[in-house]
Structure 1
Amino acid sequence: MNIQKRTLNLNHSFYTLLLLVLLFSASAKAQIQKVEPPFWYAGMKNPELQIMFYGKNIAQYEASVSNNVVIKNIEKTENPNYLFVTIDTQNLKASELVFSFKNKNKVAFTQKYSLKERRANSANRKSYDASDMMYLIMPDRFANGNPKNDSNAALTEKGNRQDPSGRHGGDIEGIIKNLDYISSLGATTIWNTPLCEDNDKQHSYHTYGQSDVYKIDPRYGTNEDYVRLAAEMHKKNMKLVMDYVTNHWGITHWMINDMPTKTWFNQFDTFTQTHHRREVITDIHASKLDKEVCIDGWFVPSMPDLNLRNPLVAKYLTQNAIWWIEYADLDGFRVDTYNYSDQTAMANWAKSITNEYPNFNIVGEIWMHNQANLAYWQKDSKIGAIENYNSNLPSVMDFTLQSQIGSAFNENEPSWDNGLIKFYNNFAMDFLYPNTNNILVFAENHDTDRINHTFKYDLAKYKLTMTLLATVRGIPQVYYGSEIGMGGDKGKGGDADIRQDFPGGWAGDKNNAFTAAGRTTEQAKYFDFTSKLFNWRKTNEAVHFGKMTHYIPENNTYVYFRYTDAKTVMVVFNNNATAQTIKTNRFKENIKNFKSGKDVITGKTFDLASEITLEPKSAIVLELE
């Protein structure tokens, strides 16, 4: 009896202890709901790491960390569910740290935290530049590589390809499966519109209203799939650019219902939307009110405006950006609505990233149609220097050129300011830019009119556009589908119409434009020209980083040269509805002793001795010999 009683007591003690352990473990799991960044890397140039711990009343605990790691700062906010702990990672090796959380000097729970090993030479990664061609993809509309993830139980909007503005099922796997197609086009870089989770009830396919910026949207795939995309691209010598959003999150972001601090987002007494007049930022006469509404107003009601003047927010976004670069092995950023955020905060954000990665390129969306306004935002701008401002932003998007393309090639009859003179005038303002080679040049993107619709599906005008993008200064960007003649009427069908599904990206599609055999005759004409032009561009350094000399357009024709000491390229445009003959003696300054030029598309040789005749609405690109 005594032995049995003792055994029962031991069993009781064992199960009591086990229960306490389970309760302790459950308490720890319940206490910490999120840790961001979820892990970090040893050997970063900036050793300070701000870790956000989120959980019920976590601020009441005293935090400490193992391995003699120095805690530089612990910040609590008015919300007791957040604790921001800044540690010094200087000289720390890849290891697993343990954070302890005490209450009344007793450890209530612990949290493991990993410092991982960086990839070899990670800090010196090469980014995209003027030797690249960037291909812009809206992933939901490109290709459905994994139909099983079209919907997700945890996310509101389900897959519905019948809804033009719904989720159609394109995903990361679809991009991976079609990398050879993209590469065959001559593209070396891919810019995807955002891939992080967007739990909006409607229109979540564009993913600019993100609900979790550390998580790939499950309808696109997993974080691991995104890492795999980068790895597969790198095997093919291609570069991956992430579309990063600093200005806003989505209304369903997990922080909205439990904000870390009242100043995490910009808020007014009543809802206030930005007026989108970003000229006020550089306007010396602007009122304080106009500037405040521009920067702090929300982009749309479903996109809460982030307050980057709050140091916690600024640090959070900086670390999130760096985490994605390191984790996914990224090659660059495109930043959405760049100048809608506080300009000093954005300058610090860009500087923090390029301090860690000196070669990393970041192009900002500065949607303005004045060269001075654009040039102000490029790193080392003399215009910004007037008021002692440096954006630290390496690249800007050339919206002035984009706006001219849509009109100039439709103007057969030249005038003082119509026709090809628009391009001449655009490039004549290049003296404003600190680095003209590092400007993104494009005719369209996911927000603008489709050029093929603008040109009424005139292949000749499409060829003129691509020839311009391939041969002027800067980094050319092509929007998915245009290379097979895709269009869309934004005025009639809204954004969904300019973001249609790529034919062949879904099982059962009658037309598969991803393959030569599957393309229609018309699609092949577009693709073959684009592919030949941009694959040639890969090989010619003169159009990458060469100088440019151009001549004032005459009779709606335009001639310019791109050249280095070793190579010269002559580009000739005829924007007329009739054939034109151009006398070459006017261009002796650049033709020099060259006798002929070989057309990179047709292979035809042109004699440069006296004149060149061009067909209506055509251009030739000549490698001078």
Structure 2
Amino acid sequence: MKFLFQVCLLCFGLNLFSQAEKIEPPFWWSGMNHSSLQLMVYGKNIADHDITISKDILITNVIRTENPNYIFITIDTKDLPAGTFDIEFSKKGKLLFKNPYELKSRRKNSALRKGFDSSDVIYLIMSDRFANGVPSNDSSKEMKEKADRNSEGGRHGGDIQGIIDHLDYINELGATTVWSTPLLEDNDEKYSYHTYAQSDVYRIDPRFGTNDDYRRLGSELHKRDMKLVMDYVTNHWGIEHWMIKDLPAYDWIHQWPGYKNTSYRMTTQYDPNASEADAKLCMDGWFVKSMPDLNQSNPLMLNYLVQNAIWWVEFADLDGFRVDTYSYNDKEGIAKWTKAIMDEYPNFNIVGEVWLHNQAQIAYWQKDSQIGALQSYNSYCPTMMDFTLHDALMEVFSEESKWNKGTIKIYDNLVNDFLYPDIDNLLVFAENHDTPRINEIYPNVEDYKLIMTLLSTIRGIPQIYYGSEIGMKGKKEIGDGDIRRDFPGGWEDDQNNAFIEEGRTELQNEYFNFTKNVLNWRKDKPVIHKGKTVQFVPENNVYAFFRYTDSERIMVVINNNPEKQMLDLSRFEEMLNGFDSGFEVISNQKIVLNKELVVGGKSSMIIEQMK
């Protein structure tokens, strides 16, 4: 009888089953600051329909583009309670079909969530290369590229469950926050494992897991008082993205027409003398041929990105974003995107990848920068990546002391801290998934310890790269796959399981235990998180600096020489005055701060000053 009733309805032209293939966002929440919700509806000739809503909900705008397969419907959700309503699609007054749409109840205090900050340590994971928790999802019938662990650029099978399975390892290490490289669907035919060429931004790639798996990752982190940062891409999608294959509008992406590669000359964003042609080529050119460049100056595109980002924060209970290729975006568009996220979540944090080699040029992009203000620009992005410190760390520990060589490069980097409006909101790192491995550059564990000492005590938010804490290496000149090797023990047939103490070699444990010691010590040290810095010009390739508050002082000494050095402590009297002893964190010993301090060759000291 039910079947006959449905047949009758179809005969009269009333199909209660959806003819809209997609509605995005797929659902929303009540009580959002972003209450003017723009729904993107996609389906064959969907724009030919008239739109009504079955309840007393205000439709404030309906936009049709040149592509009849899209319609954009804006509704006012302010003061609407959680619940479900119908979006009705009609022609000539006849209801043809309707779609239910849900406003969910928002998590308590969701708007006040606290993002990552300088009290945190971020552990960066290359998602496909960390751990394979579910071997059965390594390949998917839906996805073009299949797993091939023997291929350096292939998919190896790391997934969300693999990360969840080893959260206790990350927690033991002393990291407090996980940043995984993107997990959204990437349906490229090859080299899809990095997932920066996304084909659906509302869906976790099935080879990594499901949307619910990602939400569970956030939940498991929060149970451990840890945080989750999503790697978000605003500048480009992949050529296989379903919207790229049927563009809502010609200017949804930057057309030349078609493809033209960016020049990568980001300086044209703020160069007062830049030609329009050069600026356009950098910002509107495609990052690579397989990644069409999104046009954030198109308000429909920009709002789509804003809502997608907010949707993931709410859905997965995120604590932050790392935004890929931040400075390649239309700079006015990315500022609007960033401000919309921060308006929704005032205590959230976003770190922008601005890969430049000049502090003033990086500082331009930080929120409330006085340098940006010279051009009436504010990106609203709270945190920048300290690439100039990274540049220095790639060279310092293999150099002898000269006027411009050795540890003076670290000193010179901090000299320019005055350029940044918020020096605590710098992401400090020696390496990431795009750079050479530090253990390849510096094959001795002693140099690794110097680097970790610095990152653990310097101003800013430390970020470490998975596997370095056990001495993992990789050559950038071989290819990206070599600096993104599989973590030993992440696969069932791995002979070396470095996730557990007894599975690590003696050398791997030396790397791990040093990292664990300094990072766990750092957790409860507000003087490191928010203290001020006083640094002394390096002498004989020995760099000393102090972190201090009104109640606490830490002395850090880094000896970059192979021989031990004798420091005359009278030089540091202004910071040692009143402190005649200290507790040295690395050696776990009390020391006297009298006249001289002996620092072993290629070693460091972290001294909690005591009266």
TM over 0.5: yes
- Measured at CA, do residues 284 and 28 of structure 1 come closer, stay the same or move farther in structure 2, by a change above 3 Å? farther
Secondary structure, aligned partner of 2:573: helix
- The 8 Å contact of residues 24 and 109 in structure 1, kept in 2 or not, is answered as no
Counterpart of 1:549 in structure 2: which amino acid? V
Is residue 116 of structure 1 aligned with residue 101 of structure 2?
Answer: no
Is residue 443 of structure 1 aligned with residue 418 of structure 2?
Answer: no
Instruction: Kindly report which structure 2 residues correspond to 1:466-545, keeping only aligned pairs within 5 A, or say none.
Output: 466-491=452-477, 493-545=478-530
Aligned equivalent of 2:447, options 458, 461, 474: 461
Counterpart of 1:515 in structure 2: which amino acid? I
Report the counterpart of residue 127 of structure 1 in structure 2.
115
Aligned equivalent of 2:38, options 43, 46, 50: 50
Report the counterpart of residue 8 of structure 1 in structure 2.
none
- The 8 Å contact of residues 350 and 383 in structure 2, kept in 1 or not, is answered as yes
Counterpart of 1:118 in structure 2: which amino acid? R
Aligned equivalent of 2:559, options 571, 574, 591: 574
Report the counterpart of residue 406 of structure 1 in structure 2.
394
- Give me the whole-angstrom Cα distance separating, in 2, the residues matched to 1:543 and 1:242: 25
Q: Give the percent of matched residue pairs that are identical in Structure 1 and Structure 2.
A: 55
- Give me the whole-angstrom Cα distance separating, in 2, the residues matched to 1:422 and 1:29: 66
Task: State the TM-score, normalized to the length of structure 2.
Answer: 0.98
Secondary structure, aligned partner of 1:129: coil
Counterpart of 2:575 in structure 1: which amino acid? N
Secondary structure, aligned partner of 1:429: helix
Over residues 354-403 of structure 1, what are the superposed CA-to-partner deviations in whole Å (9 max), with x where a residue is unaligned? 10100000000000010011000000000001111111000000000001
Q: What is the CA-CA distance between 1:164 and the residue it aligns to?
A: 1.3
Q: What is the CA-CA distance between 1:271 and the residue it aligns to?
A: 2.4
Secondary structure, aligned partner of 2:244: coil
- The 8 Å contact of residues 123 and 357 in structure 1, kept in 2 or not, is answered as yes
- The 8 Å contact of residues 574 and 616 in structure 1, kept in 2 or not, is answered as yes
- The 8 Å contact of residues 606 and 612 in structure 1, kept in 2 or not, is answered as no
- Give me the whole-angstrom Cα distance separating, in 2, the residues matched to 1:475 and 1:15: 61
* Unmatched runs of 5 consecutive residues or more in structure 2: none
Instruction: Kindly report which structure 2 residues correspond to 1:97-176, keeping only aligned pairs within 5 A, or say none.
Output: 97-176=85-164
Over residues 94-121 of structure 1, what are the superposed CA-to-partner deviations in whole Å (9 max), with x where a residue is unaligned? 0101100110011111000000000000
Report the counterpart of residue 430 of structure 1 in structure 2.
417
Secondary structure, aligned partner of 1:581: strand
- RMSD of equivalent CA atoms: 1.3
Aligned equivalent of 2:601, options 600, 603, 616: 616
Aligned length: 610
Report the counterpart of residue 3 of structure 1 in structure 2.
none
Aligned equivalent of 2:59, options 61, 68, 71: 71
Secondary structure, aligned partner of 1:570: strand
Secondary structure, aligned partner of 1:409: helix
Report the counterpart of residue 186 of structure 1 in structure 2.
174
Counterpart of 1:425 in structure 2: which amino acid? D
- Give me the whole-angstrom Cα distance separating, in 1, the residues matched to 2:196 and 2:17: 31
Report the counterpart of residue 305 of structure 2 in structure 1.
317
- Measured at CA, do residues 39 and 151 of structure 1 come closer, stay the same or move farther in structure 2, by a change above 3 Å? same
Farther-moved stretch of structure 1 (613-622 vs 471-480): 613-622
Instruction: Kindly report which structure 2 residues correspond to 1:164-313, keeping only aligned pairs within 5 A, or say none.
Output: 164-269=152-257, 271-313=259-301
Aligned equivalent of 2:576, options 584, 587, 591: 591
Counterpart of 1:487 in structure 2: which amino acid? K
Larger CA Rg, structure 1 vs 2: 1
Report the counterpart of residue 330 of structure 2 in structure 1.
342
- Give me the whole-angstrom Cα distance separating, in 2, the residues matched to 1:27 and 1:525: 67
Q: What is the CA-CA distance between 1:603 and the residue it aligns to?
A: 1.1
Q: What is the CA-CA distance between 1:269 and the residue it aligns to?
A: 2.8
- Give me the whole-angstrom Cα distance separating, in 1, the residues matched to 2:509 and 2:347: 37
Over residues 299-321 of structure 1, what are the superposed CA-to-partner deviations in whole Å (9 max), with x where a residue is unaligned? 00000000000000000000000
Q: What is the CA-CA distance between 1:596 and the residue it aligns to?
A: 1.0
Aligned equivalent of 2:406, options 407, 419, 422: 419
- The 8 Å contact of residues 583 and 610 in structure 1, kept in 2 or not, is answered as yes
Instruction: Kindly report which structure 2 residues correspond to 1:385-396, keeping only aligned pairs within 5 A, or say none.
Output: 385-396=373-384
Secondary structure, aligned partner of 1:206: coil
* Unmatched runs of 5 consecutive residues or more in structure 1: 1-10
- Give me the whole-angstrom Cα distance separating, in 2, the residues matched to 1:23 and 1:519: 70
Q: What is the CA-CA distance between 1:605 and the residue it aligns to?
A: 2.2
- The 8 Å contact of residues 13 and 96 in structure 2, kept in 1 or not, is answered as no
Q: What is the CA-CA distance between 1:31 and the residue it aligns to?
A: 2.0
Task: State the TM-score, normalized to the length of structure 1.
Answer: 0.96
- Give me the whole-angstrom Cα distance separating, in 2, the residues matched to 1:584 and 1:590: 10
